Structure formats: C-alpha cells, structure tokens
C-alpha cells in the first residue's frame, strides 16, 4: 500500500536551527573548505579553467572530465557508468522513481535518512528491517530473508549508516549481496560516508564494484565536506537505468552547476589530502567525545561508531530527549537532532535518542559549552 509523501521531518527541523544555533553539534557533514583553500590545491590549468568559465548549461549526465575523476574512485566503473545530480537527494528521488512501480516491493533498512523510505512508500509496498540497537546496531540477514516477497525488486542500505554510524561486517555485506544476486534484486547502496571509518579494515566495497545490479550513491557533501557544491552521483553497470535517470533529470535540475563541476573535479583530484583532513578532524573530535561522555554516563549511552561523522545515542535524563534538545539549543545554542525526526513509517525507532555530529572543527568548543550548561543545571 502506497502512502502520500509526508514532510521531511529532519530537514524541517534542521531548517529551524541549522543556521541559527551557535554550535551545530548534529551536522552530518565534515568541515567545509573555503573556496581559496580548494583553489590553492588546483593545477594552473584547472584554476584557469575555473576563472575563465562560461556560465552556460552543462551535460545532463555531468561533465565528461568530472565523470572521469569520479570513475577513479571505483574499481570497476568508468565514466559511462555514472550520472551526476544536484546532490544526493535528487539522485535518491530519481532512482526510486525509475526503478520502482506500483506492482513492486522494496526493503529498506531503518533508521535511515527519511528519503530512503518516504520515496519508495509513495510508489509501492515497502518493508522495513531495523538495525538492532541492543546488538551494536547489527543487521540480521534472517530478517531480510523473511521480508522477501516474490515481487521484491530493491533493497536499500546505507553504511556507514546515518544516523548510527554502523558499518556491516564484511561477511554480512557479502551475504546480503549474494541474496540479492540469487533473487535478481537491485541493491541500492548509499555510500556517502564511505572512506570515514575508525579502522580502514572495516571499509566495505562499493556495491557497483561487487554486484552487477548494485547501484552506488555518493556525493561531495559528506566525506569531502563540500555540500555547497551540490554534486552527487549514481554509479551503475546498467546503461538503460542510467539513461532512464537522465530522462527523468530533464524534469528536475536538467544539469549541474558548471562552476561546481569544476570545483568538484579539483577536489577529487586532491581527494587524498581532503579525506586525510576529514579523518583527522573526526579522530580528534572522537577523542573529545570519549572524554566528555565518560564524565556523563548517567545521561548519555555513548559508543564510538564504526564510521561516518554521526552517531545515534540514547539520552537517559528524566526530562526526555525532546525536552533536553529543545532546552539546550534555546538556552545554550547547542543543537542536536532528537529521535522524533527519525520517525519511521516502517519500524519503531528507538526513543530518547539524539544524533550527534562530529565532523566540524567547533565540536570541542561546543562540548565545553554543553558541559557548562549541564553543570549549571545540576547534571
């Protein structure tokens, strides 16, 4: 049974506080570069191309030179396997509209970025399979198998997961891929936090590199810390799927921003430097978080996540997470997302949780402000 698309709870909540709160401690992206910092990494040729760019339309699939650089981030993909979008959200929207029909069934992992379930639910029947908070947010493959139907067409995953930071064990990921292969099911894999793992050995392969019906989603916004570019992409081995995505994109953004395409290309050419910066910020902030939460075990159930730059942790205060997050942003300017914005139409989501983000440079200062506020309020 399909459902009308409901308001995007997370984005609605973010729009109220994201640019008002002094300390955005729930941000889902890494610290952004400033334009001069990014251009300083550019070759003379790329900098000249940017400075002399004609501000016209670009190719709907994305500039060939940009797709060439993106292809270098995969083992098995070439430029012909890629299509670019105005961020990851447009890519999710179009992929679901292209892949699914009213006669299909999809399986979606929860908790998730709401678009992962709201869009499929507006098209076809969807079953949610929840990660197990009490078992380190693990995924039970048996529950995926139990959710299968004869018309199951797609399984949607996101690892490292938003909001939990969970990364599947490689054996579980391989079992899921093999299940999809046996059933001929599309595996839609949101990989926007890949390359930010606490241990590189936890890193999963990209779906397109290991499965012929795998679709990999990525974006410049998260690990690269460049959300203002609004450059995302899908990678697929299925040319017909990519062409159908292009046809759908004609009704939306039509094409990407020409300046953003060049800037994204510069960033990807310097991805080792940019990713090292992101990982360094995350590692430093994790150390601060470990120290902070060790002093407040009665209030927060903290466990260092496997990867990404967000975590979903339980708040144990008697006031409840909704009241806590409201007061702390209004009184101290420290912004967290409460679990209500992760409400799912598919499965229960653990209550009294909040999402903390630790990809920004201001995290240590924000923790100091939070500590002082807690102490003033008798914590």
Say if residues 166 and 110 touch (Cβ distance below 8 Å).
no
Q: How far apart are CA 154 and CA 120, in angstroms?
A: 10
Q: Are residues 141 and 209 in the same domain?
A: yes
Q: Which stretches within 193-257 are classed as H helix?
A: 207-210, 239-249
Q: What is the CATH number of the domain that holds 234?
A: 3.40.640.10
Q: For residue range 117-127, what is the model confidence (pLDDT) as tens digits?
A: 999 999 999 99
Same domain, 27 and 165: no
Give the domain range for residue 318: 9-34+272-374
Indicate whether 147 and 214 sit together in one domain. yes
Asked whether residue 171 carries a pLDDT value surpassing 70, the answer given is: yes
Q: Kindly report the CATH number assigned to the domain that includes residue 362.
A: 3.90.1150.10
172-220 per-position pLDDT tens digit: 999 999 999 999 999 999 999 999 999 999 999 999 999 999 999 999 9
CB contact at 8 A, 61 and 82: yes
The answer to whether residues 113 and 233 belong to one domain is: yes
Residue-wise pLDDT for 328-368, tens only, equals 999 999 999 999 999 999 999 999 999 999 999 999 999 99
Q: Mean pLDDT across the stretch 81-90? A: 98
Same domain, 120 and 229: yes
Cα dihedral: 211, 213, 214, 215 (round 10) = 150
Asked, for residue 220, whether it belongs to a domain, the answer is yes
> Is 281 within a domain?
yes
CA–CA separation, 154 and 99 (whole Å): 8
Is there a single domain that holds both residue 226 and residue 317?
no
Q: Is the pLDDT of residue 10 over 90?
A: no
DSSP string, 53-119: -------TT--HHHHHHHHTTSSS--GGGEEEESHHHHHHHHHHHHH--TT-EEEEEES--THHHHH
Residue 182 maps to a domain: yes
Whose CA is closest to 186, among 243, 254, 101, 262? Answer: 101
169 & 90 share domain: yes
Question: For position 208, what pLDDT does the model report?
Answer: 98
User: What's the pLDDT at 310?
Assistant: 98
In angstroms, the Cα distances linking 44 to 40, 67, 272, 274 are 9, 20, 19, 19
Of 221, 240, 270, the domain-final residue? 270
Residue 134: pLDDT over 70: yes
Q: Is the pLDDT confidence value at 3 over 90? A: no
What pairing do the DSSP bridges indicate for beta strands 186-190 and 214-219? parallel
Supply the pLDDT for residue 97.
98
Same domain, 266 and 288: no
* Same domain membership, residue 318 and residue 265: no
Q: Are residues 221 and 252 in the same domain?
A: yes
Spatial separation of the C-alpha atoms in residues 289 and 309, rounded to whole Å? 12
Mean pLDDT of all residues in 260-284: 98
> Do residues 155 and 188 touch, judged by C-beta distance below 8 A?
yes
Given a contact cutoff of 8 angstroms between Cβ atoms, the answer to whether 208 and 236 are in contact is yes
Q: Flag whether 190 is in a domain.
A: yes
Question: The tokens of 57 are what?
Answer: 């339309």
Q: Are 308 and 27 in contact (CB under 8 A)?
A: no
Q: What percent of the chain has pLDDT over 90?
A: 96
My answer on whether 224 and 363 are in the same domain is: no
Question: Is residue 354 in some structural domain?
Answer: yes
Domain closes at, from 243, 270, 297: 270
d(CA 14, CA 363): 18
User: Per the domain annotation, does 43 fall within a domain?
Assistant: no
Of 232, 250, 270, the last residue of a domain is 270
User: Rounded distance, CA 291 to CA 270, Å?
Assistant: 33
Q: Is residue 290 part of a domain?
A: yes
212 plus 334 within the same structural domain? no
Question: Does residue 1 register a pLDDT over 80?
Answer: no
**279-327 pLDDT per residue, tens:** 999 999 999 999 999 999 999 999 999 999 999 999 999 999 999 999 9
CA-to-CA dists, residue 71 to 130, 133, 234, 267, angstroms: 32, 35, 11, 14
Encode pLDDT of 236-250 as tens digits.
999 999 999 999 999
Q: How many domains does the chain have?
A: 2
Distance between CA 336 and CA 157 in Å, rounded? 24
- Residue 46 is assigned to a structural domain of this protein: no
């Amino acid at each position: 049974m399909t459902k009308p698309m409901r308001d995007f709870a997370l984005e609605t909540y973010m729009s109220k506080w994201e640019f008002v709160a002094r300390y955005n401690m729930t941000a889902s992206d890494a610290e952004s570069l400033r334009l001069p910092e990014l251009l300083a990494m550019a070759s003379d040729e790329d900098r000249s191309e940017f400075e002399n760019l004609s501000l016209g339309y670009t190719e709907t699939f994305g500039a060939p030179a940009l797709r060439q650089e993106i292809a270098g981030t995969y083992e098995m993909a070439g430029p012909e396997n890629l299509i670019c979008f105005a961020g990851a959200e447009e890519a999710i929207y179009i992929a679901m509209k292209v892949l699914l029909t009213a006669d299909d069934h999809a399986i979606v992992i929860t908790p998730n970025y709401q678009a992962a379930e709201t869009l499929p639910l507006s098209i076809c029947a969807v079953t949610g399979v929840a990660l197990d908070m009490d078992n380190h947010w693990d995924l039970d493959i048996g529950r995926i198998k139990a959710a299968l139907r004869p018309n199951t067409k797609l399984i949607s995953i996101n690892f490292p997961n938003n909001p939990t930071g969970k990364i599947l064990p490689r054996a579980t990921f391989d079992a899921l891929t093999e299940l999809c292969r046996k059933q001929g099911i599309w595996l839609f894999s949101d990989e926007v936090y890949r390359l930010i793992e606490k241990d590189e050995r936890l890193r999963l392969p990209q779906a397109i590199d290991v499965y012929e019906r795998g679709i990999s989603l990525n974006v410049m916004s998260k690990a690269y810390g460049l959300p203002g570019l609004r450059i995302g992409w899908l990678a697929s081995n299925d040319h017909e799927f990519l062409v159908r995505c292009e046809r759908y994109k004609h009704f939306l953004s039509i094409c990407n921003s020409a300046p953003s395409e060049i800037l994204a290309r510069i960033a990807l050419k310097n991805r080792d430097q940019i990713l090292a910066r992101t990982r360094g910020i995350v590692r430093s902030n994790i150390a601060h978080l470990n120290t902070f939460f060790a002093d407040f075990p009665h209030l927060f159930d903290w466990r260092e996540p496997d990867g990404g730059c967000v975590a979903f942790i339980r708040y144990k205060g008697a006031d409840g997470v909704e009241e806590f997050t409201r007061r702390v942003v209004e009184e101290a300017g420290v912004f967290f997302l409460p679990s209500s914005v992760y409400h799912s139409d598919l499965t229960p989501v653990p209550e009294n949780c909040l999402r903390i983000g630790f990809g920004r440079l201001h995290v240590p200062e924000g923790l100091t402000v939070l500590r002082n506020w807690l102490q003033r309020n008798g914590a």
